[in-house]
Amino acid sequence: MSERTSETGAEQVIVVGAGHGAGQAVATLKQKKYPGRIVLIGDENWLPYQRPPLSKKFLAGELPAERLYVKPEKFYDDPGIEVRLNTRVTEIDPGARTLATDNGDTLPYSKLILATGSRARKLPAEGSDLAGIHYLRGIDDVNAIRGELEQASRTVIVGAGYIGLEVAAVMRQLGQEVTVLEMADRVMSRVVSPELSSFYAEEHRNAGVRLMLGEGLGGFEGQNGRVTAVATSTGERLPADLVIVGIGILPNTELAQAAGIAVDNGIVVDEHCRSSDPHVYAIGDCTSHPSRIYERRLRLESVQNALEQAKVAAVNASGGDQRYDQVPWFWSDQFDLKLQIAGLSDGYDKTVVRGNPAERRFSCAYLKDGRLLALDAVNAPKDFMQAKALIAKGVRPDIDKLADTQVALNTLDDDR
């Protein structure tokens, strides 16, 4: 921060974090012509960037790092914006409305937007500190993995969620021998139905991926400090030149919690993205927000949530009065399959498959007490788009019509 700003006490919004949401928050503040100064603080060496391509096109070597940026470098060439990279915020003092950084600076803020995101969940297994074992959360992680590919031919992936399967697909396309180890008895078990799991498992097997489901991790073996094998819980030994772990993420809430800001499975925010401190907003993976649609608090790990919360928080930090209440959505690219998920299927009591999985273009709808909760669309973008509106309205569709691909989903609103 410049001396001029601190001396005059001018209005200043500080955005802590440099992910997708942080980049959008700065963009929205700029778009709304926020009259004060904007300071962005990130602990990586990269401007705000998109994470979804990391496990897809960026890992495959199809995108340079600069193409991941939310906004190009020249966007930040603005006298009203200050960017501090390689900088970590160590403490927030809500009473004084200041924060401290690891380089010894103390910065004042009028409003604070926490976009601290999440971090990869780490494995406590024996040998987990060996070289060649990677987590995939940032650009530097992918660069490290890519730097070892030429010397590797056998990749073992721990975890069969989105990240694990996306990485498996890319690694097969890069010519690697791939094994996926998963404790659950089906792939993507936390987020999709058994029908979807079976479909994706078959697709991966057909592509040459070895899936070991219902199999735990025993530990890692190595030589000269580098991983050479993965041991399963049943004692099988899987030779490995490279290991990539994708077993979920943890929200980065410690900074807020230490400052006395309410945390409960994420930084607790209201519909305005405001925390328990009226001068502090929070957005993205690190937050827990109220959902009118699902009638409970949600902590979402999605780009859509981060971007839309960023817009709301930035507007409100600028003196506006916007509310956040949207149908969550997610996506995953694996091979030539685009999975688009509208809504949250937790608690469903019925599924309806729409279309034929054998044709690799279909949807799976999730209902509870007749109400449409969510829909997974595989290479079916129209179903995905139309389902979002139905979910928002709480529609209870006719089951036969829902299953009929000749009936457009947007006509099922009449059955409410």
Same domain, residue pair 255 and 313: yes
Domain limit, last residue, from 261, 284, 317: 317
Instruction: Answer yes or no: is 228 within a domain.
Output: yes
Domain count, the chain: 3
pTM, full prediction? 0.95
Tell me whether residue 406 is in a domain.
Answer: yes
204 secondary structure, DSSP code = H
Range of the domain at 126: 122-247
Q: Which of 388, 384, 368 is closest to 376 using CA atoms?
A: 384
Together in a domain, 344 and 393: yes
Same domain, yes or no: 351 and 303:
no
Residue 327 within a domain: no
Residue 331 lies in a domain: no
Half-sphere exposure of 229 (CA within 13 A, CB side): 10
Residue 370: inside a domain? yes
Q: What would the pLDDT profile of 254-291 be if each residue is shown by its tens digit?
A: 999 999 999 999 999 999 999 999 999 999 999 999 99
403 with 341, same domain: the answer is: yes
Can you give the pLDDT of all 416 residues of the chain as single tens digits? Answer: 232 233 345 799 999 999 999 999 999 999 999 999 999 999 999 999 999 999 999 999 999 999 999 999 999 999 999 999 999 999 999 999 999 999 999 999 999 999 999 999 999 999 999 999 999 999 999 999 999 999 999 999 999 999 999 999 999 999 999 999 999 999 999 999 999 999 999 999 999 999 999 999 999 999 999 999 999 999 999 999 999 999 999 999 999 999 999 999 999 999 999 999 999 999 999 999 999 999 999 999 999 999 999 999 999 999 999 999 999 999 999 999 999 999 999 999 999 999 999 999 999 999 999 999 999 999 999 999 999 999 999 999 999 999 999 999 999 985 44
- Looking at the structure, tell me whether residues 200 and 107 fall in a common domain: no
- Do 271 and 188 fall into the same domain? no
Q: Whose CA is closest to 229, among 122, 133, 148, 121?
A: 133
β-pairing, 217-223 vs 226-232, is antiparallel
Main-chain phi, psi angles of 332, to 5 degrees: -150, 130
Among residues 203, 226, 247, which one ends one of the domains? 247
Residues 290 and 257 in one domain: yes
Last residue within a domain, chosen from 211, 232, 247: 247
Same domain, 71 and 142: no
Shared domain check, 209 and 168: yes
Q: Is 284 left (phi over 0), alpha (psi -120 to 50) or beta?
A: left
Instruction: Report the residue count for the chain.
Output: 416
- Does the residue 326 lie in any domain? no
What CATH number is attached to the domain comprising 386? 3.30.390.30
Same domain assignment for residues 134 and 239: yes
The answer to whether residue 328 is domain-embedded is: no
- Does 8 lie in the same domain as 112? yes
- Answer yes or no: are the C-beta atoms of 14 and 94 closer than 8 Å: no
Give the CATH number for residue 215.
3.50.50.60
Residue 16 CA to residue 43 CA, distance in Å, equals 9
Q: How far apart are CA 160 and CA 168, in angstroms?
A: 9
